[in-house]
Amino acid sequence: MSFDTSNAGSYFKDKKITVLRIGLLGRGIGDTAYVAEAGAQVTAVDAAPKEVMQSAVDQLSQYQNINWKFGPYDFADFKGADMVLVGAGTPLNEPVLRDCRTAGIRLVQSAALFAELSRVPIIGVTGTRGKSTVTHMIHHVLSQLTGEEVLLGGNVRGVSNLQLLKRVREDSLCVMELDSWQLQGFGWAGISPQVAVFTNFMEDHLNYYEAGGHSREEAMELYFADKANIFRNQEESATFITTPLVFARAQTFAQKAGITIGQEVVLADTSVLPEDMLLSTPGEHNRLNAALAYEALKALNLEDEEIFEALTTFPGVPGRLEYVGATESGVRIYNDNNATTPAATIVGIEAVAAGKNVVLIAGGSYKEVDPSPLLAAFEAHVKRLVLVPGTGTEKLGALLTEGNSSFDCTNVATLKEAVETALAAATSGDVILFSPAFASFGLFKNEYERNDLFMDLARAATE
């Protein structure tokens, strides 16, 4: 039976809910507004000082039933809670979470809580790379073919998963991009999406998973264990779509965890797509993304021809090899802001290069992922490298010095200076690619701030 979204108070009213790490990106703010509006007694806690979180406080100022606490976490703010709504990225070894578990206090995350309460069919997509593109491909096709509103949630900019409850209908369907942190919540709840897509698995977030003294191998196992929640609790009637490489690791994981993969398993590859099928998004990796999306849509009993036709109209995802435009001199500019690992940047370079014609803007904060594989791609395709500051940039710079690289490299202080330098270096037929290979922290609050600044600069150059 579906959750009665017209009477949210029947679930949240008078419950004591502690919100941990509300954040500033809109998702946590929307979730908190939802439970406060429903009549919960809310305690919002964040380790950041009040002056940093003032924007969140201001946006929720109308709710008198929210009590704010800033600074170091105190279990007194959790003790007696009916549930703790945990923000993504909370450290695995956070002491107050351990204390909550010991006290039997329920831990939830909003994506999984939406799935539990709404009981609508969920198509969930995860993976180190490609999950955003595949999620939006599936959502695009369903929206085109059904003519109805298809809910879109999970790790989507500014989208509160709990606010989506207001839009649930009896026949609703939801497509969710699920990162490893949101899948922790699915693991806590013991649930998985009805259709699960796992695009690939590579090194990422090792700065998070190595915390607490874990080795790199242990960190990768912890990372995969979180990702595995997308298929771990699927029923036999569910569908698990992935690649042969990921499935081999999933089988090893299942054997160690003592679980059975009894649901339907579909292994995707690009051969399912028509050879003459043209996508607006460049690169062979996007053909694999389209193949994964196709298999998910097939699991919903859609017809091949209508799926293929709708996929060709998919415009791409902002910040993922997004074509911005061309300058008057014929230089094309692409925004690949969300490429926050070396592997993602390599794929981006190879997707847009035609020989050695790429002027690459990169650099940022180190995530404990080895940048050395970038060097071969640089040598093959990068005409000029422009680096913005960061701990990852320092690691890459040391590698470039050791390797006596033969291509031009310029270090700059700001993203604005990086774009100006790239425009001065590029000539007709070149491509300016912004593909950082590292996280945004340091120069920026988050990847969205970095994305928006680059888009402003790039649009100004192409107008």
Within this chain, do residues 132 and 226 fall inside the same structural domain, yes or no? yes
6 domain residue, yes or no:
no
Which pLDDT belongs to residue 91? 86
150 and 247 within one domain: yes
Domain that holds residue 40: 13-108
Shared domain check, 168 and 299: yes
Q: For residue 379, is it within any domain?
A: yes
Taking only Cα atoms into account, the Rg of the chain, rounded to an integer number of angstroms, comes to 23
Q: Which of 236, 120, 211 is CA-nearest to residue 170?
A: 120
**Domain assignment present for 4:** no
Among 78, 108, 138, give the residue marking a domain's end.
Answer: 108
Looking at the 3D structure of the chain, how many domains does it have? 3
> Residue 262: what pLDDT?
96
The sign one gets for the Cα dihedral 278, 279, 282, 286 is negative
Q: Say what the pLDDT of residue 7 is.
A: 57
Q: What are phi and psi of 170, to 5 degrees?
A: -60, -30
Instruction: Say whether both 83 and 123 belong to one domain.
Output: no
Residues 289 and 425 in one domain: no
Residues of the chain with confidence (pLDDT) below 50? 1-3
Q: What is the 3-state secondary structure (H, E, C) of 355-424?
A: CCCEEEEECCECCCCCCCCHHHHHHHHEEEEEECCCHHHHHHHHHHHHHCCCCEEEECCCHHHHHHHHHH
- CA gap 308, 46 in Å, rounded: 46
Q: Does residue 2 sit within a domain?
A: no
Q: Is the same domain home to 277 and 411?
A: no
Same domain, 209 and 266: yes
CATH number reported for the structural domain that contains residue 63 in this entry: 3.40.50.720
Query: Which residues have CB under 8 Å from 94's CB, separation 6+?
Result: 73
- Measured in whole angstroms, the distance separating CA 192 from the mean position of its chain's CA atoms is 18
Q: Which of 60, 87, 108 is the last residue of a domain?
A: 108
6-16 pLDDT, tens digit each = 555 589 999 99
Q: Examine the domain organization and report whether 190 and 233 are in the same domain.
A: yes
pLDDT at 45: 96
Q: Are residues 190 and 127 in the same domain?
A: yes
| Same domain flag for 47 and 170 | no
CATH number at residue 438: 3.90.190.20
Can you give the pLDDT at residue 4?
A: 57
Same domain, 232 and 304: yes
- From CA 208, how far away is CA 91, in angstroms rounded? 7
Non-local (6+) Cβ contacts of 86 within 8 A are 20, 21, 97, 107, 108, 109, 184, 185
Task: Answer yes or no: do 277 and 425 share one domain.
Answer: no
